[in-house]
Structures are given as C-alpha cells and as structure tokens.
Amino acid sequence: MELVVLLIFGSIVFLGVGVMSFGRRPEQERLAKLASGETSSPVDSGGVLTKAEPGLVGKLLGVFAGDTSSEEKKVSLGPIRRRLIHAGYRNESAVVTYMGSRVAFALALPVLVLLLPATWSLNQLQLITALCVGGGFGLVLPSYWLDRRVKRRQREIELALPDSLDLMVVCVEAGLGINASLKRIADDFRTTHPLLAAEFELANFETRAGKSTTEALRGLADRTGVSDVSSLVAMLIQTERFGTGLADTLRVHADAMRLRRLQRAEELANLAPLKMLLPTVFIFIAMIIIIMGPGALKMSEYFSNR
C-alpha cells in the first residue's frame, strides 16, 4: 500500500511541475528566435512542414516531449516526421504533440490502473507488472493510432487515383498541361475525393509559388507515401523530360492502376472466409453447448443418483 501511495504522489507532483513549467515568457521566446536567426515562418526544404503556434493541448503535451529543436533531435525524428506527413499532419508542432502524447499516455494509464478497484487487492509484484503493462500500452497506443491513420489515408488515395488519371487523360487530350490538369482534378474531386484533391492542389500551389514541376511532383510523392503515386510521378517526370506522348502513357498507366485496384479488392474478398473462421468457431461451440448441454446435465444427474 505504501508503494501505491508513493506512486500516486510522484505522478501528481510530476504532472503539477510539468503543467506549471510549460511555455516561456514572451521575452524568452523573442530572445530564442533572435538567437536562432528566425525572422519569419518558413517552410522546410521538403515544402511540407510549416511552422505554426501550437494550441493549449500542444503546449501541454510539449512539456512531456522535451526539446526537439536541436539538429541531432531533428535528424533522429526524421522517420516520425515522415509518418506524420503521410498521415496529413504537416505542422512542426505535430512532432511535439505526438512525442508528448506518447509520454503522457505512458504516465496516465498506470495512474488509471491504480484507480481501478480490481488492482487494490493485488500484491506488490502483480501491481508492478500491471503498471508496467499499462505504461507500455500507453507508449504504443499513439504509434498504433498513427499507423492506422496513415494506412486509411493511403488507401483512400489509392482508390481515387485511377479515376483522377482518367480525368487527366481528358484534360491532356484537350490541350491542358500537367499543372492545369492537376488544378482541374483538384477542383472536380474536391467533394468526392478531398484527400487527393488537396494533394494535387498543394502541388499546383508549389508550382505557382516558383517551384519547378519536377520538384512539385516529387514533393507530391513524398507527402503521400503511396507507391502508385510514386510511379505516376516518375512517369510524368520521364514524359516531361523526354517529350513523349503524355495522353497515351497516362491511359496505359490508368488501366494498370485500375487493374491493381481490382486485384486488391479480390485479395480482400479472398481473405473474408479466413476472417470469418474464428467467429464461426465460437458460434459452433455455443450451438454445441445449447444443444448438448441439457442432455449432459440430465445424464450427469442420472449417474449421480445411481
């Protein structure tokens, strides 16, 4: 019991110190900006991470994230930044929020475990094991959620890409260039496929801001992380470099992507019987208990009387 009280007291003290110490005074923030040479809110070299002031939740979670502004930290957090970009979070505060949420969940779940009445009767070893399991689960939970969001976003982009290529073929045959075609697709797909429309619109904005078409297309592939988009970008760059016919190449590529989409759907359909196997086993066991249970009780009662 002394260990439980000590852990609760340490958690409360740690959270109180963290909440009271988040944020810096305005003069400290200004001195830090002058020391780092920042004069505006630029976009990083990849054109995907923008600097934005985090909100109250971001500041609170930033207390647990620690210092992520050093160059070594930025290099080590590169894979995490890429995962966040693939999930659609492009602000630099997203990295701080993500790292802080992992630490916050790792601290909050053990406290919730302590508050459960079922843990009050455990011995010391069992309680420590439960706290370690809760902390590990809290540390892994944000990463699992982020991976699920990345996969869902990439799947939506993959499903919308063949239809966008059909429209791009029509635009190219009508005499539009790549940038104008991306703009037209973004306008038409804004309601049906908003994720792909937003990515195409951002690539068009980058070309209008001064980037070359090649750099904007490569940024599009880096932001999405979808293999079909990467192959499309490579094909568009090669077509623009060598001056080959764009409409015929796009038509062939659209047919190939539509075939891959059909194959993915067939693969998921073939996995359906395997996924239904486990629930079917439980249903079958329940039916056996319902059918044979009364008879088994009667037989056991009969033999006990004999």
pLDDT digits (tens, 9 = 90+) for 223-249: 888 888 888 888 888 887 777 778 888
Alpha carbon separation from 211 to 129, 197, 205, 220 (Å, rounded):
55, 19, 9, 12
- CA–CA dist 165, 7 (Å, integer): 58
pTM of the model: 0.65
Domain map (residue ranges) of the chain: 2-115, 155-273
- Calculate the dihedral angle through the C-alpha atoms of 65, 66, 72, 75, rounding to the nearest 10 degrees: 10
pLDDT at 125: 83
- CA–CA dist 306, 299 (Å, integer): 11
Q: Could you please report the per-residue DSSP string of 53-112?
A: ---HHHHHHHHHH----SHHHHHHTHHHHHHHHHHT--BTHHHHHHHHHHHHHHHHHHHH
* Token pair 């003290």 in the structure block, residue: 13
Structure tokens at 192: 């049906």
Q: Decide if pLDDT at 23 tops 50.
A: no
Residue 201 near residue 184 (C-beta atoms within 8 A) = no
pLDDT digits (tens, 9 = 90+) for 126-169: 888 888 888 888 888 988 999 999 999 998 888 888 888 888 88
Residue 232 near residue 165 (C-beta atoms within 8 A) = yes
- From the list 186, 172, 150, the residue with the least C-alpha distance to 235 is 172
User: How many C-beta neighbours within 10 Å does residue 14 have?
Assistant: 12
